Each structure stands twice: as C-alpha cells, then as structure tokens.
Amino acid sequence: MHIAFVASEGVPFSKTGGLADVVGALPRSLAKLGHQVDVYLPRYRQTKLTDPRTVVRSITVPFDDKYRFCSVLSGGEHSGVHHYFVQYPPYFDREFLYGTTAGDYTDNAERFALFCRAVLEASKILGVPQVFHCHDWQSALVPVILRSLYAEDPALRKTATVFTIHNMGYQGLFPPEILPLLMLPWDLFTISKLEFFGQVNCLKGALVYADFVTTVSRKYSQEIQTAEFGFGLEGVLRNRSATVTGILNGVDYEVWSPETDKYIAARYSDLDLSGKARDKADLLATFGMAGVDPKLPVLGIVSRFAAQKGFDLISQIADRLVREDVILVVLGTGDKPYEEMFIRLQKQFPKKIAVRVAYDNALAHKIEAGADMFLMPSRYEPCGLSQIYSLKFGTVPIVRATGGLDDTIEPWDARSGKGTGFKFVEYSGESLLLTIKAALHAFRDEASWQVLMRNGMAKDFSWNASAKEYVKVYEKAMLAAGGAEPGELVPGEAAVRRHKTP
C-alpha cells in the first residue's frame, strides 16, 4: 500500500508538539510493515536538511491576487520513509511555525492552502498514493480540494483520504473572503460544508470530505461527539460516527526509554531501578535544588502552558500543595499568565517549586527519569504522550480521567498490587489535591511503590499495534473512495502496491 502523510510538522525536521512526534514515528512503523510511505512537510527556517535535492522545480498555485510558485525538495529516505518538503520562503522561512507570541500569522490560510495544493500537484509527479493521511487543520484542505476542485482529475479521482484530529480546539477559522482568495468555490460556504457561524472552518471541511476520520485515542473519539468537547463540531462528527474511530498514539521507545536514553545521568530498567536515584539527584541539581532532602518525592511537569492543560487547577491549590512533603519541578512555555504564575510561585517557594520557562528536549528527558511522579491534570487531552513516557521511566502518572489519559492509566490498588497511576474525574482543584495526596501517601511504602513503578514500566505502547489499526482504516477508506474492490485487500496486508490510475 502507498500512503502519503500530509502534516504541518514532523520530527526530526520541525516540532511544536505531539503532532510532530506522531508524524515522525507512525510512518516508520508502517514502513516496517512493508508499506510505501511518503511524508510531505513545509520547509521552515528550522528545517535542517543534510543533502536536499529539488525534485519538482516549479508548482504553480493560483490565488486570486497573483500566482505563487513553489518547489518541492527531497530530504531523502529515513527508516524506509521518503520525506518531501514544500519550499516557498515568503510563507515558511520564518522564525516560528504558526505565529508569534502576539498571535497566529495573519496569512496562515494562504500559507497552508498553498502547502495542500502543492502536495496534490507534487504527488502527480512523484507518485500518487492510494491514501492521503492528513493531520490537523493545516492539511485539512487536501480532502476538501480533492473532492471539489480535483473531483474529475483522473490521476487523483480514486485516491482515499484519512484525516486525524489531534486536537479539536484548533480548527483553522478564517473570514469567508478567504475562499475567493484561495480560488475555492463559494458553494463550499454552506452549513453542510465549510461554513461555521459565519466563518470558514478548515477542520470542518476535512470532517465533511475525508473518507475516514480518526482521533488519537478511543476515549477522545467519543468525547468529541459531545457538546463539552466537540467545540461546535460534535453534530458533524455524530453524523459521521460510522467513519470515526479512535486509535491510541504509540511512542518511540528507541528515544523514550531509561535503558537507552542519552540525556539522563544514569540508565536503569525494571530489573534494576538503582539508576533512578542518581537521575533524581541530577534533576534536582540541574534545577538548582541540590540541597533539598532527596527522600522527598519530586512531582514533574513538562507541558505547553495553556488552559487546556489544567493549570488553573494548580493555581487553585498551589498554596496548599507547598505545605505537603513534595517538590514541584516544571518545564514548559505558553500562555503568559501561566508562565508568570509559575515564576511567581518559584519566587514565593524557592525550596518547593523550580521552574524553567523554555522548550528543552534534554531537560524533558531528565524530568521523566528523575521525577517520582508526573502531573497531567488536563481539562481535555486527545491522547497525551508524556504520561506514556512516564510509565516507561517508572515515573508514576497523576492524571485527569479524560481522553488518552483515561485510556492509558489504570488506577492503583495497593491491596491487589494492580494499576499504573492515579487519576481523578471531577475537574476541580479539590479533586486534584486529593489525588496528589493519595499518591504521596502511597509513595511512603517503598516496596509497594516499586510494584507500581514496575507495573507501568511493563506496559507496551509502541507504535506496532497502532500502525496495524491504521492499515485497517486505510483499507476501509480505499474501498469508500473506489480505489479498491471488496475482497481485493486482505486486512492487515503488508504488500506494497502502487495506485493505478484509470
């Protein structure tokens, strides 16, 4: 099967969040199953390519004001996956991917519309896939354009589309005047297509036009069909419920494992946990807290600072949390009010709270290895990866029971010795504080705590199982798009096939 990923970011080339990790890891797992996989990304200023080759010299993308001409570079093949980069410096040669601290770039609609059109045109030269797997609103126009402007294109007519929602909170909303600028027909601006309370909604367009829709956990696929988590699109998703499914994100244990991690002071495993004490000491020293009692539990946070992540709950309980026998170590950047909140707390309680307002991958690894517990009190969390990393590092997660957090963490029961972490349901500071206290109480029983640690370390959330689930979705999408006949494909089949144009 030939699959082309279309996304706005992907490691190791560009990253702002978990989307990049998925786009970096899932294609490799599909390639290991024997599939042909391409990945299309924009070439940003931060994109580092060792030996790029121009494979499509010029693609003409029409806009209402003028034509724009972009090119496509090959970044070569990595782990069986071929990477292509859409190059248009006026749009992508910028300091940040989507916007500055002042807000999103005002031309984001034009930027990613050009990207989507360029991918479709480039594929006709570089190889038309059987399935375009698109991710988040920045690639949402691929299924829209494919089923509208390109509906009669013989090269692409039977190509299927699968669209993955990584976060319903980001939808790509623009004024209706954007349609003529992007050379998209006005008949797309209806309530049954892209119109959303007087605006153009790119994400909605993909939900309407994609052959299949996936989300990044089973629980989240159910939550987004409710008013609480659907962000106004729950009705669209309920109408398409038969083609909506949740597949849990996997993680890359070649990168996130205490047995091999290159960033941590000491390596360890579930058979020998002794190295974790050295990692804890190293973490505290790195945060300037080497003088504190090493027996105190360390509670770690690595996160984007946003309301979604539950930081309002932390603000509610901070004055009481510091009275507990616990040290809080925090790493992240994001909304200014939360950055300022953590800096203020660190100044107030320098022996209890340490903060780094930054994105620092190496430090994130040190927190995963050196902390005793990991906190994720999210209001909603489509999947979450940090809690899965924490399990592998024997760093016990404390989470809210939502989305992928609920799917991946099993509540600890000291009597039976079963479970992998602690979680709470009600979104309130009181519930969070009670759950942290329960974890701190359990931490005092060292033997029992090591059972809990090892339970988590034994879990396998690698990409292999999830990749096989995606293959099943691709096959269903191909049947829906008319790119395969019933019985032609064997579920889970790993044979490489090229798309045949009529």
> Residue 484 — very low, low, confident or very high, per pLDDT cuts 50/70/90?
low
Give the model's pLDDT for residue 500. Answer: 31
Higher pLDDT, 21 or 439: 439
Report residue 91 as tokens.
């749009």
Q: Give the pLDDT confidence of 36-82 residue by residue, as tens digits.
A: 999 999 999 999 999 999 999 999 999 999 999 999 999 999 999 99
Run of H or E residues at 242? none
User: Rounded CA gap, 154 and 173, in Å?
Assistant: 31
Report residue 127 as tokens.
């190889």
Give the model's pLDDT for residue 102. Answer: 87
CA 319 to mean position of chain CA atoms: 32
Give the model's pLDDT for residue 334. Answer: 87
Give the single-character DSSP code of 439.
H
> Within 10 A of 501 (CB to CB), how many other CB atoms are there?
13
Q: Are strands 244-246 and 212-215 parallel, antiparallel or unpaired?
A: parallel
Give the model's pLDDT for residue 66. Answer: 95
Strand order in the sheet with 353-357: 353-357, 327-334, 298-305, 373-376, 396-400, 422-424
| CA dist 477 → 37, 72, 203, 486 (Å) | 16, 27, 18, 12
Give the model's pLDDT for residue 359. Answer: 84
Give residue 47's identity as a one-letter amino acid code: T
User: Rounded CA gap, 88 and 82, in Å?
Assistant: 20
Give the model's pLDDT for residue 461. Answer: 95
Identify the CA nearest to 399 among candidates 418, 419, 424.
424
Instruction: Note the pTM of the prediction, 2 decimals.
Output: 0.87
Q: Which domains does the chain have, with CATH numbers?
A: 2-250+463-481 (3.40.50.2000), 275-457 (3.40.50.2000)
If you write DSSP's letter for every residue of 130-176 in order, what string do you get? SEEEEETGGGTHHHHHHHTTTTT-TTTTT-EEEEEES-TT---EE-T
User: Rounded CA gap, 248 and 261, in Å?
Assistant: 23
Give residue 305's identity as a one-letter amino acid code: F
Q: Give the pLDDT confidence of 362-392 residue by residue, as tens digits.
A: 999 999 999 999 999 999 999 999 999 999 9
Q: Please list the alpha-helical segments (H only) found in 198-258.
A: 202-209, 218-223, 234-239
User: Rounded CA gap, 282 and 329, in Å?
Assistant: 13
Q: Give the pLDDT confidence of 296-350 residue by residue, as tens digits.
A: 999 999 998 988 999 999 999 999 999 999 999 999 998 999 999 999 999 999 9
Higher pLDDT, 494 or 297: 297
User: Rounded CA gap, 332 and 348, in Å?
Assistant: 19
Give the model's pLDDT for residue 314. Answer: 94
If you write DSSP's letter for every residue of 292-358 in order, what string do you get? S-TTS-EEEEEEEESGGGTHHHHHHHHHHHTTSS-EEEEEEEE-HHHHHHHHHHHHH-TTTEEEEES
Average pLDDT, the chain: 94
Higher pLDDT, 252 or 144: 144
Average of per-residue pLDDT across 403-426? 97
Reply yes or no on whether the pLDDT at 492 is more than 60: no
Virtual torsion, Cα 310, 46, 105, 60, nearest 10 deg: -130
Reply yes or no on whether the pLDDT at 495 is more than 70: no
**Cβ–Cβ under 8 Å, residues 428 and 422:** no
Run of H or E residues at 215? strand 212-215
Q: Give the pLDDT confidence of 167-225 residue by residue, as tens digits.
A: 999 999 999 999 999 999 999 999 999 999 999 999 999 999 999 999 999 999 999 99
Average of per-residue pLDDT across 464-483? 95
Percent of the chain with pLDDT over 90: 91
